[in-house]
């Protein structure tokens, strides 16, 4: 994701990309062609350059170290989700940024899908009445996705100590984060983790959560087990209320290729009319990464609060941690 963030940052107004760091020479070379200075150690980058903010896009087991280093140098941080490998680490990260008086925003990009934004609006306005049941699904191929040029799955993904968990922490995190955003406090009524791929980390998770505020039941289905090829995208949230129902599917493109063509044409016309292009909107999925990063930088430039409260992320981590603890006890 690091390279995508870098490409996005290069297209955001009022942002100067100073440098990028990557251990891999191949990766460094691939970004140097955009005129970006590179380092092979992020610590050297932070020590050398004068920065307002940094994007930390590291494997889960290196996140804490990366955020700590940036915080100690007084640099605000955009951090890829999940916040941490577990709740204890998440608390340490948040305490550290508070102590160092730097700001941290977690890249929960799913909140910025147009379909999720619209569903949240419907929910907030009470257009479906009191929501009694919510179901949410995010089932893809996780780390086994196949880019155009095949590459092996980085092994840290499959090592629980390094990753912190599997499908629940990786994909379930997005669903729980949205449910926390919608409902506030949630309690776990039931949970199930599956290892159908015989890996050390779970490849499927089903949770039943109860909203303490509204008593709504929320189902979370997250999985890595399903073969999907970009632009396939098996994600939805359905809300069932006393006055009707709604779904993110109602606001998502029906046909991704037709959507890409339409959005591409719109952007082409915007460019001709010298209007602002909606970057990556043709992909639907990746536009959310652009939008959340843009909001992060706007908040930095304006000195306003980040729109994603860290308490939401702590709550998401608490739920996930509780599920893992429960299943480890078993």
Partner 1 sequence: MAKVILTQLKTKNSTQEDLKKTIKKALEQLDFDFKKGINSIVIKPNLCYYWDYSTGETTDPRVVATIIDELRNMIGKNVAISVAEADASAMKTKYSFDVLGYREMCKEKEVNLVNLCEGEIINKTAKVGDKELNLPVNTILLKADLVVNVPKLKTHNVMGFTCAMKNMFGAIAKPYKYSYHKVLAHAIVGINKEIKSDIVIVDGIVAKGRYPKKLGVIMTANDVLANDFVAARIMSFNPQRVKYLKLAAREHVGEANKIDIIEDNVKMSEVKAAFPCYSHFRHRLSWRLQLKLLRLYGRIVKDVIPPVLED
Nearer to partner 1, 279 or 296 (CB): 279
Tokens 């990366």 label which residue? 66
The CB-of-158 to partner 1 minimum distance in angstroms stands at 6
Interface pattern 98-127 for partner 1 (x via CB under 8 A)? ------------------------------
Residues with Cβ < 8 Å from 38, sequence gap 6 or more? Answer: 19, 20, 21, 22, 28, 31, 32
Q: Does 288 bind partner 1 (CB under 8 A)?
A: no
Residues 174-213 that bind partner 1 (CB under 8 A): 197-199
Nearer to partner 1, 23 or 257 (CB): 257
Cα 13 from Cα 1, distance rounded (Å): 20
Q: Binder to partner 1 among 78, 284, 286, 324 (CB under 8 A)?
A: 286
Cα 136 → chain centroid? 16
Q: Does 282 bind partner 1 (CB under 8 A)?
A: yes
Cα 122 → chain centroid? 22
Q: Does 283 bind partner 1 (CB under 8 A)?
A: yes
Q: Does 152 bind partner 1 (CB under 8 A)?
A: yes
Cα 167 from Cα 141, distance rounded (Å): 9
Cα 61 from Cα 159, distance rounded (Å): 10
Q: Does 148 bind partner 1 (CB under 8 A)?
A: yes
Q: Binder to partner 1 among 72, 133, 277, 311 (CB under 8 A)?
A: 277
Q: Binder to partner 1 among 14, 26, 149, 303 (CB under 8 A)?
A: 149
Q: Does 11 bind partner 1 (CB under 8 A)?
A: yes
- Distance linking the first and last C-alpha atoms of the chain: 35
Q: Does 21 bind partner 1 (CB under 8 A)?
A: no
Q: Does 230 bind partner 1 (CB under 8 A)?
A: yes
Q: Does 8 bind partner 1 (CB under 8 A)?
A: yes
Cα 142 from Cα 127, distance rounded (Å): 34
Nearer to partner 1, 16 or 148 (CB): 148
Angle at 125 between CA 313 and CA 256, to 5 degrees: 70
Cα 154 → chain centroid? 19
Longest dimension (CA), the chain: 61
Q: Does 262 bind partner 1 (CB under 8 A)?
A: no
How many helices, marked H, and strands, marked E, lie in the chain? 12, 11
The SS3 of residue 61 is helix
Nearer to partner 1, 240 or 259 (CB): 259
Residue 225 tokens read as 């087990």
The CB-of-205 to partner 1 minimum distance in angstroms stands at 17
Binding site for partner 1 (CB under 8 A): 3-4, 7-8, 11, 144-153, 155, 158, 197-199, 227, 230, 257, 264, 267-268, 271, 277, 279-280, 282-283, 286, 290
């Amino acid at each position: 994701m690091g390279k995508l963030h870098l490409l996005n940052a290069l297209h955001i107004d009022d942002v100067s990309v100073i440098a990028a760091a990557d251990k891999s020479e191949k990766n460094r070379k691939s970004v140097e062609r955009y005129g970006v200075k590179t380092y092979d150690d992020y610590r050297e980058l932070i020590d050398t350059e004068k920065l307002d903010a940094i994007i930390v896009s590291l494997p889960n087991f290196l996140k804490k170290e990366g955020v700590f280093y940036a915080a100690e140098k007084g640099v605000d941080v955009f951090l890829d989700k999940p916040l941490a490998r577990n709740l204890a680490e998440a608390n340490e990260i948040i305490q550290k940024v508070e102590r160092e008086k730097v700001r941290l925003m977690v890249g929960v990009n799913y909140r910025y899908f147009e379909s999720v934004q619209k569903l949240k609006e419907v929910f907030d306005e009470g257009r479906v009445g009191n929501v009694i049941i919510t179901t949410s699904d995010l089932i893809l191929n996780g780390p086994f996705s196949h880019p155009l040029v095949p590459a092996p799955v980085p092994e840290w993904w499959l090592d629980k100590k390094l990753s912190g968990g599997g499908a629940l922490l990786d994909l379930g995190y997005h669903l729980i984060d949205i449910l926390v955003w919608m409902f506030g406090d949630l309690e776990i009524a039931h949970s199930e983790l599956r290892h159908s791929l015989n890996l050390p980390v779970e490849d499927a998770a089903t949770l039943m959560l109860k909203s303490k505020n509204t008593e709504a039941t929320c189902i979370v289905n997250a999985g890595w087990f399903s073969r999907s090829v970009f632009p396939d995208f098996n994600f939805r949230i359905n809300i069932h209320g006393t006055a009707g129902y709604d779904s993110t599917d109602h606001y998502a493109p029906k046909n991704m290729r037709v959507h890409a063509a339409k959005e591409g044409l719109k952007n082409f016309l915007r460019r001709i009319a010298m209007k602002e292009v909606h970057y990556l909107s043709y992909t639907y999925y990746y536009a959310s990464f652009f939008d959340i990063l843009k909001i992060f930088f706007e908040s930095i430039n304006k000195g306003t609060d980040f729109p994603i409260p860290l308490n939401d992320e702590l709550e998401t981590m608490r739920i996930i941690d509780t599920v893992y603890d429960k299943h480890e006890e078993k």
